[in-house]
Amino acid sequence: MLERRRERSDRHTHEGAPVTTALACLGGLLGLVVGSFLNVVAYRVPLGRSVVRPRSSCPACGHDIRAGDNVPVLSWLLLRGHCRDCGAAISLRYPLVEAGTAAAFVGLALLVGASWALPGYWWAAGAAIALTLTDLDYRRIPDRILVPGIIGAAAFLALGSLLDGDPWALLRALAGGAAYFGVLLLVALGARGGFGFGDVKLGALLGLVLAHRSWSVLLVGAFAAFALGGLAGVALLAARRVSRKDAIPFGPAMVAGAGLALALGDTIARWYLG
């Protein structure tokens, strides 16, 4: 009986490998396009501007960016990081966000595999990357990004869990999002203004995805967020980049902790418990 189960498991893994590879390739291409859009979202939303109009233009000379010069990563390389019209430097951040988003989408495809819930992970990752950028730039986690991120992730995970025949994953995701939100809310109330409410709401988004994987992944993600945030704060203080009175964005640490937990959460939990 045990041998037959192993054979079925091995056969399922072997048959699913080509599908997972195809999803990873799709995720890479989709991630490049989404990453290019996230650059626009992270720049315009905190300023209250539309993410659709007007077309993207060079901030130095104002010329509209040509369609051929708007290909993710490749255009930056071909232009050697400079505007075609005025020669002004184009920040390296743009191709890094595009490549980073593509890498995140590929990693999630390899992690989740041939699951209907995968679009929910991609949606949450896109929102989390955009929020990381706005938190670093403006010390803000805008609701215009966060609320659609939570609603979209919850909807995709709900549909995916039902199509996968795993409704318990959906219930766990909803409970995990509420739990992470609740814990951070208590921290914010105890900190008396030293902890932003945007971080609390970000916990709902990340908690959905982390708990959808497992409770141990959620616990590792929450612990890693505070550990990474503390280490970053100590490093910035030691380098004298900030003072004790300066606000240090916690959102990036939360997103980094979530990424670490998704990649290694179950392994870390087994190691710790063992």
Kindly state whether residues 271 and 139 are assigned to the same domain.
yes
Kindly state whether residues 121 and 109 are assigned to the same domain.
no
Residue entry with tokens 């490549």: 99
Over residues 97-114, the pLDDT tens digits come to 999 999 999 999 999 999
Residue entry with tokens 């995701």: 173
Cβ partners under 8 Å of residue 98, min gap 6: 31, 32, 35, 36, 39, 72, 73
Q: Of 114, 136, 161, which residue is a domain's last?
A: 114
Residue entry with tokens 């959460």: 265
If pLDDT is split at 50, 70 and 90, which confidence band does 69 have?
A: confident
Kindly state whether residues 36 and 85 are assigned to the same domain.
yes
Kindly state whether residues 137 and 273 are assigned to the same domain.
yes
Report the domain count for the chain.
Answer: 2
Q: Of 114, 134, 152, which residue is a domain's last?
A: 114
DSSP readout, 19-51?
Answer: HHHHHHHHHHHHHHHHHHHHHHHHHHGGGT--S
Kindly state whether residues 141 and 271 are assigned to the same domain.
yes
Kindly state whether residues 262 and 210 are assigned to the same domain.
yes
Kindly state whether residues 74 and 170 are assigned to the same domain.
no
CA–CA distance, 121 with 262 (Å, rounded to integer): 10
Q: Helix count (H) and strand count (E) of the chain?
A: 9, 0
Over residues 173-196, the pLDDT tens digits come to 999 999 999 999 999 888 876 678
Retrieve residue 239's tokens: 């380098």
Over residues 30-52, the pLDDT tens digits come to 999 999 999 999 999 999 998 88
Q: Of 94, 114, 134, which residue is a domain's last?
A: 114
Angle CA 78–80–86, to nearest 5: 105
Kindly state whether residues 219 and 174 are assigned to the same domain.
yes
Retrieve residue 103's tokens: 């890498």
pLDDT at residue 2, as a whole number: 37
Q: Out of 13-27, 203-217, 258-272, pick the least confident.
A: 13-27
Over residues 113-163, the pLDDT tens digits come to 999 999 999 999 999 999 999 999 999 999 999 999 999 999 999 999 999
pLDDT at residue 241, as a whole number: 79
**What angle, rounded to 10 degrees, do the helices at 118-138 and 2-44 form?**
40
- Contact predicate 258/221, CB 8 Å: yes
Kindly state whether residues 86 and 135 are assigned to the same domain.
no
The boundaries of the domain holding residue 4 are 1-114
Residue 3 has pLDDT above 50, yes or no: no
pTM for the model stands at 0.90
| Three state DSSP letters for 90-120 | CCCHHHHHHHHHHHHHHHHHHHHCCCCCHHH
